[in-house]
Structure 1
Amino acid sequence: MSLARAIATVGGITMVSRVAGFIRDSLMARYLGAGPEADAFFVAFRLPNLFRSLFAEGAFTAAFLPLFSKELHGHGKPHAQRLAEEALAVMVTALLGFSILMALAMPVVVAVLASGFTDDPDQFKLAISLSHITFPYLALISLTALLGSILNALGKFGPFAAAPILLNLVQITGLLLSGPLGIPAHIMLAYGVPVAGLAQLIWMAVACHRAGMDLRLRRPTLTPGVRKLFALLAPGILGAGVYQFNLLIGTNLASWLPTGAVSYLQYADRLNQLPMAVIGVAVGTALLPVLSRKVQDGDRSGIRDTLSRGLEFAALLGLPATAALMVMPGPIIQVVFQGGAFTAEATAATAAALQAYAIGIPAFITAKVLSAAFFARQDTKAPVRFAIIVLVSNVLLSLALIGPLGHVGLALAPGLTAWLNVALLAWGLHRRGQLDLDRRLWSRLWRTLVAVAGMVGVILAALSLLDRFLSGRPILVEVAALGTVIVLAVLTYFSLCALTGAARPAEVKALMRRPRNGGGTPVASTPGMPE
């Protein structure tokens, strides 16, 4: 599978997941709105969602996959499977103890996550209760990540990318049943989290069985391989999760603002996560196995080509997404969320937060690519040093901006400090002589910016023409109007990309072709493609 095909596989399935997520979030906004129950649920959901991002999309995969890949290609499948079983045994033991400890300490945990809730005993108690329900998701998603990393190393990206769809489907079902069953929506949503986690674990176990990788549970032992894994994992949790930790800081500070601030940030981040997940996670997921193999082979030319193409894909897909969210946040929020308990005031507040968040989208995606260059070399320590600097900067910037800008300042801070993270990662690679990029990347970048500028012009013109159909109309009319703007923007952008040479259809078609080497490991590019 080529790099582009792998990115398309992960990105396409993730897009399906995010569409299902939009449906869930739209229902959630209408059922919950932005009141105290919504704020309490989002705090309870933030903790397991943090671990989902760290383990399913970040630190665990970054630490485990290169080790598993090295065993697989260096010593064969039996040795790789033994490493996975040893990791599984220790993880089950550790997660069981950690889950019990966290359950006992949940009041303290919630006080840390949302210290502002302590002034409202009822809301604080509700957040603790919901957190007890959602927290088992941590253990389930951690084990799911282990199985998913195995499949990614085997070149099978689809099952792991599809797993989050189950979470959305379970929560959609819960919301729709909450009324007929007479159970509050926030309670149904909370119980849906661990139910979905169990469904995801079963899904991944079946996928591993089909791939011939059935793991048996061994007696937990700290073997050299397991010690190496956790040595890489510990700093990687902070390095890979810097954005999520920044969101936690924002959630805590937002809990001190008037009711609704936590929800505004959560709803805005849901839309902000669309390009970051579809593009950033897809590129990072597909890139890491390729870079790991190239590093093990000592293929400097292959490393340069793979890293350059990863950054090229990041710019090609990330820049237009950022521009669109910054130019038209209001119409998007209004069509997706407004209605029922979600008011026009909530739409305006959420749109402002989305616009601020969007500033950091290109930085987040670029950081995924640059981080993969460290992780492929089994280096998780350098990114964590940079992450500490970024976290401190985010705290200081959030405290500086919350006064004049309120919740919008809390959305702006992680976006700005994400660019600091990119600068530090790039500097770290350059200092080691590992930021080796080809000329084609720089040539394509300015062409992409020209295409983005043209797309923005079309969006502004389309919004002006269709403005009367985007508000105060039946929902189907509003959806059709917004869809028209989006389709025009997409057609304009890719047409301009073809005209300027930012992306050439023949090259994309060649990249998407399966390689002829017969192997299951992704390759970086198609031979003969011009630089």
Structure 2
Amino acid sequence: MLRALSTVGGFTMMSRILGLVREIFMAAFLGTSIVTDAFYAALRLPNMFRRIFGEGAFNSAFVPLFGRELAEGNPEVAHRFARNAFSWLGGVLLVATLVIIPGMPWFAKLLVPLAEPDTYVLVVAYGRIMFSYLLCMALSAHLSGVLNTVGVFSMPAFAPVLLNVLMLAVLGVLVPLAHWQGELELIGTAVSWSVCAAGFAQLLLLWVSCWRRGIRIVPVKPTLTPRIRRLMLLMGPGVLAAGIQQVNLVIGTAIASSQESAIGSLNYADRLFQMPNGMIGAAFGVVLLPEITRLLRGGNELAANDAIGRGLLFSMLLTLPAMAAFVVAPAAFVGPIYERVQFSAEDTLHVSRTLAAFAVGLPAYVLVKVLQAGYFARENTKSPMKIALVTVSVNAVASLALFPVFSFVGIAMATSLAGWVNVVLLVHGLRGSLGLGPKRRKQLVRTLLAAAAMGAVVYVANHALEPWFTGVQWQKVVAMLLLVGVGATAYALIAMALKATSIAELRHGFRR
């Protein structure tokens, strides 16, 4: 499992690093302006529908069904099912695209009801450019599910890199060459078109990857077969769960739209938060679902539970130190990465507080990916839906309660609280199937102690490096790298000393 995780995690790391570089350019050219708020609010709309109808709900239902056909030795039947599902998904989303693009002014009003008129106009303009991204990315998610089920993880993990490459081409090449610095609205328009182009590029890349492996995914006349009916039945709770979860984002964006620069600040903090969350959480989610599905299809319940247990242990081993570092020294990461030109020291303060609030929920959101695989592999999408109802309610109520007190930092706090509520409820539903024996429970406790000790080391080192963090840009970057090095070294030594893990265990995991 860990070998596949390293492949997915490696390419995801590449994507996240390029995404961070992209955000550095966004911060330099746009700062936390109304153009930044408008761009990210507009991008929220296609991302919202993509997560409802695409990667989450669709693949959580599709992958087990597709995997079952392959396990039963019916590759041609499986491929026909994949083509039919592709056509159904594409048809539904094409209709949605044709309806929403002309109706963008109405949808934008729902998304940013409290925004200033200038911001609202930009949200509509950018939203119309980027909404076709939904169609491409949902279909790309479907092709990724097909490839992951047949054991191909590298290309689906690489595909998101294209979005960052194209956006960087605009921000790092086109903007300087065309001398658009200072033309904020024009930069926003150009970046929006790069998002649209990236959607088509990713879809083409994954389609070619499937074709080369003999999987001919082409549009066909959608037919309502028994397998499609089963897919829709399983998708129903997933769509509702994803839709309910997206209500949180809409509420958060709507609340944040009442304060200028809030949406941009939340996004910059979220980008750093998504570095470990994306690399670790997404990797575990992608790899675990096909593996647990395969084990359950083979009647190996104990091995499936063991896979979940290993996933829980290793995910915490990787995310707890990241959480500790972001909580005790958030400005040490925000300042060196973002602070330049349009991004001020005051922006660094706001984003740092938001990052610390997000970071408290970092382990939770990675755990959710691991735990949900245990439900989806058993074709159980109803339980996660019911749990989503509870967590969304917690998030919405907490956001509304905390925003007046903590401003947009309260939205990040509510997100973390909802994540932990989600974990508690998912664990309760999987009791007896978690693969956490006495040894692993002790390792989890030791991992928590090692991360806490590392946090103390990082806190002290951060204060020792304070003169460098207040120096010129190169000094800030060097200080950040030194802090990361000190933290990583301390954590590795403490974790080994406490026997939270061992070299032998890590080697065994990667061989598997």
TM range (shorter): over 0.9
Give, in angstroms, the shift of residue 242 of structure 1.
6.3
Q: Deviations over 1:224-278 (max 9, x none)?
A: 2222222222321343576654333211110112x11111111111111111111
Distance 1:272 1:164, change over 3 A: same
Tell me if the contact between 2:281 and 2:366 (Cα under 8 Å) persists in the aligned partners.
yes
CA distance, structure 2, for counterparts of residue 434 and residue 74 of structure 1: 25
Give, in angstroms, the shift of residue 443 of structure 1.
1.6
Report what 2:279 is aligned to: 278
Report what 1:520 is aligned to: none
Tell me if the contact between 1:243 and 1:418 (Cα under 8 Å) persists in the aligned partners.
no
Give, in angstroms, the shift of residue 424 of structure 1.
1.3
* TM-score, normalised via structure 2 length: 0.95
Bigger mean CA offset, 420-429 vs 141-150: 420-429
CA distance, structure 1, for counterparts of residue 401 and residue 447 of structure 2: 34
Give, in angstroms, the shift of residue 358 of structure 1.
0.9
CA distance, structure 1, for counterparts of residue 37 and residue 215 of structure 2: 41
Give, in angstroms, the shift of residue 80 of structure 1.
1.0
Tell me if the contact between 1:59 and 1:241 (Cα under 8 Å) persists in the aligned partners.
no
Report what 1:229 is aligned to: 231
Distance 1:325 1:51, change over 3 A: farther
Give, in angstroms, the shift of residue 214 of structure 1.
2.0
Report what 2:159 is aligned to: 163
CA distance, structure 2, for counterparts of residue 325 and residue 242 of structure 1: 28
Report what 1:519 is aligned to: none
Q: 2:93 aligns with which of 89, 92, 95?
A: 95
- The one-letter amino acid paired with 1:447 is R
Give, in angstroms, the shift of residue 113 of structure 1.
1.3
Report what 2:455 is aligned to: 456
- Secondary structure of residue in 2 paired with 1:116: coil
CA distance, structure 1, for counterparts of residue 461 and residue 250 of structure 2: 37
Q: 2:483 aligns with which of 482, 485, 488?
A: 485
- When the two structures are aligned, how many residues end up with a matched partner? 506
Structure 1, gaps ≥5 residues long: 514-525, 527-531
Report what 1:502 is aligned to: 500
CA distance, structure 1, for counterparts of residue 452 and residue 32 of structure 2: 35
Report what 1:123 is aligned to: 119
Bigger mean CA offset, 74-83 vs 236-245: 236-245
Tell me if the contact between 2:293 and 2:377 (Cα under 8 Å) persists in the aligned partners.
yes
CA distance, structure 2, for counterparts of residue 327 and residue 232 of structure 1: 42
CA distance, structure 1, for counterparts of residue 107 and residue 270 of structure 2: 22
Q: Deviations over 1:102-135 (max 9, x none)?
A: 1122122111111112xx3222111111000111
Instruction: Please tell me whether residue 137 in structure 1 is matched to residue 110 in structure 2.
Output: no
Tell me if the contact between 1:250 and 1:411 (Cα under 8 Å) persists in the aligned partners.
no
Report what 1:7 is aligned to: 5
CA distance, structure 2, for counterparts of residue 34 and residue 436 of structure 1: 45
Report what 2:382 is aligned to: 381
- Secondary structure of residue in 1 paired with 2:465: helix
Q: 2:257 aligns with which of 247, 255, 258?
A: 255
Report what 1:72 is aligned to: 70
- The one-letter amino acid paired with 2:266 is L
- Secondary structure of residue in 1 paired with 2:500: coil
> CA RMSD of the aligned region, Å?
1.7
Give, in angstroms, the shift of residue 211 of structure 1.
1.9
Instruction: Please tell me whether residue 465 in structure 1 is matched to residue 458 in structure 2.
Output: no
Distance 1:452 1:478, change over 3 A: same
Tell me if the contact between 2:111 and 2:254 (Cα under 8 Å) persists in the aligned partners.
yes
CA distance, structure 2, for counterparts of residue 90 and residue 56 of structure 1: 12
Report what 1:305 is aligned to: 306
Q: Deviations over 1:444-471 (max 9, x none)?
A: 1111112112211221222122111112
Tell me if the contact between 1:113 and 1:248 (Cα under 8 Å) persists in the aligned partners.
yes
Q: 2:177 aligns with which of 176, 180, 183?
A: 180
CA distance, structure 1, for counterparts of residue 346 and residue 219 of structure 2: 53
Report what 2:408 is aligned to: 407
- The one-letter amino acid paired with 1:161 is A
Tell me if the contact between 1:89 and 1:219 (Cα under 8 Å) persists in the aligned partners.
yes
Tell me if the contact between 1:51 and 1:138 (Cα under 8 Å) persists in the aligned partners.
yes
CA distance, structure 1, for counterparts of residue 383 and residue 42 of structure 2: 31
Give, in angstroms, the shift of residue 136 of structure 1.
0.3
Report what 2:200 is aligned to: 198
Report what 1:111 is aligned to: 109
Tell me if the contact between 1:243 and 1:414 (Cα under 8 Å) persists in the aligned partners.
no
Report what 1:350 is aligned to: 351
CA distance, structure 2, for counterparts of residue 305 and residue 244 of structure 1: 32
Report what 2:248 is aligned to: 246
CA distance, structure 2, for counterparts of residue 464 and residue 121 of structure 1: 43
Give, in angstroms, the shift of residue 57 of structure 1.
4.9
Tell me if the contact between 1:59 and 1:237 (Cα under 8 Å) persists in the aligned partners.
yes
Tell me if the contact between 1:304 and 1:438 (Cα under 8 Å) persists in the aligned partners.
no
CA distance, structure 2, for counterparts of residue 407 and residue 23 of structure 1: 24
- Secondary structure of residue in 1 paired with 2:430: helix
Q: 2:26 aligns with which of 25, 28, 32?
A: 28
CA distance, structure 1, for counterparts of residue 499 and residue 243 of structure 2: 35
